[in-house]
Amino acid sequence: MADSKKIAMISGITGQDGGYLAKFLLEKNYRVLGLYRRGATDTFSKLKEHGIFEQIELLDFDLLELSNICRLLKKHQPDEFYNLAAQSFVAASWEEPIYTAQADGMGVLYILEAIREFSPKTRFYQASTSEMFGKVQEIPQTEKTPFYPRSPYGVAKLMAHWACVNYSESFNVFACSGILFNHESPMRGKEFVTRKITSHFARIYTGKTGEPLELGNLNSKRDWGYAGDYVEMMWKMLQHTTPDTYVISTGETHSIREFVEEAGKHCGFDLQWQGSEDSETGTDKKTGKVVVKVNPKFYRPAEVDVLIGNPEKAKKVLGWNAKVDFKSLCRMMMLADIEREKK
Ligand code: F7E
């Protein structure tokens, strides 16, 4: 019966994680209320590709509109609220630092206030991020590693993270913070480096372009997992007896260069690197063609050089393990983009 179903609200329903989480919760028989920002450039294509578009009740939502957030919480009294909405592109946060602070920092405070006032039983999940570790103070990073954000995005997310801890300690709000390291999938936006690589390589592979892929810093390292694995953790956190903070990661790190090489293998590229720094290129040995080159335009004002998380706490307390490894992730994303281009 519809009435006995648990209600989950997901903000950021049109994004990569929104789609995977909605699918996961629908399979668990939740009623899913999908919150989306009217006028967002993104469409519902991901939900349609997951085959769940019809099962989600869509509601207007804006992180900057406190009155709207209060009304939604008051009316629907959700059992769980997953805040996946954000200005999530780190590079853009230097161009839009104030908007990023408002949406990614203040917006979370608005939701917490609305929960506190109008729906105190709602359990809240906040999408925190490894960007909060920024210039890392310890390797690998754990829940206890001191934070040192390196972007307006990281700074805003840090405020939101502490707001969760504070509301949980001050007002007994069940607020959890998932410090998720980079997580990717074939549904990833093309502005992020992994999908930028696989979508462009797929176009070269299928003969749709002869232009090389242009990238920024090839040497930064990330702990990349699979988004489909990570959404389960969001849910597990909210089922636990007490609210807490968890690092979610694979425990492995790889450079952008390694991702390029690994993805390239599935297109038959055997890459040879030439030149250095700003003028570096990657040539396919078999064809002699340059398939990737550095463009300093994509460098960031301050870089996060290396991220690697220690997921021990999540494993121990919540019994969670990342299932998809780096090579399988590259393969999955590369093959999905080749299939898309063929169609
Ligand atoms: O960059 C380098 C870039 O944009 C990864 C978001 O989900 O994960 C994501 O943030 C690395 C950086 O992700 C290009 O300099 C080189 O070192 O894929 P990204 P991100 O910034 O790590 C965290 C956990 C989040 O929370 C965020 O919301 O790749 N890189 N060349 C490039 N990056 C991009 N985007 N484009 C390039 O051409």
Q: Is the pLDDT of residue 158 over 80?
A: yes
CA angle 308–310–312, rounded 5-degree value: 165
Supply the pLDDT for residue 160.
Answer: 98
User: Which pLDDT value is given to residue 330?
Assistant: 98
Does the CB atom of residue 300 touch ligand 1 within 6 A?
Answer: yes
Please tell me the distance from the alpha carbon of residue 5 to that of residue 2, in angstroms, as a whole number: 6
Ligand 1 pocket test, candidate residues 90, 187, 248, most atoms within 8 A of CB: 90
> Ligand 1 centroid vs 30 CA: distance in angstroms?
32
Residue 309 pairs in a beta bridge with: 141
| Closest approach atom of ligand 1 to CA 181 | 24
Q: Mean pLDDT, to the nearest integer, of 273-289?
A: 96
Lowest mean pLDDT among 84-88, 163-167, 275-279: 275-279
Is residue 87 lining ligand 1, measured as CB closer than 6 Å? no
Task: Give the span between the Cα atoms of 190 and 97, in whole angstroms.
Answer: 21
What is the predicted pLDDT for the residue at 39? 75
Regarding the beta carbon of 188 and ligand 1, being less than 6 Å apart is answered no
pLDDT value of position 38: 87
Catalytic residues: 129, 131, 153
User: What mean pLDDT is reported for the chain?
Assistant: 97
Structure tokens at 295: 């463009």
Q: What is the pTM of this model?
A: 0.97
Pairing of strands 175-180, 123-129: parallel
Candidate from 116-120, 126-130, 275-279 with smallest mean pLDDT = 275-279
pLDDT higher than threshold 70 for residue 126 = yes
Q: What is the pLDDT of residue 17?
A: 98
Per-residue pLDDT tens digits for 2-21: 568 999 999 999 999 999 99
Long-range contacts of 203-206 (CB under 8 A, 24+ apart): 203/341, 204/267, 204/291, 205/267, 205/268, 205/338, 205/341, 206/338, 206/341, 206/342
Ligand 1 contact via 217 beta carbon (within 6 Å): yes
Model pLDDT for residues 34-75, shown as the tens digit of each residue = 999 987 666 899 999 999 999 999 999 999 999 999 999 999
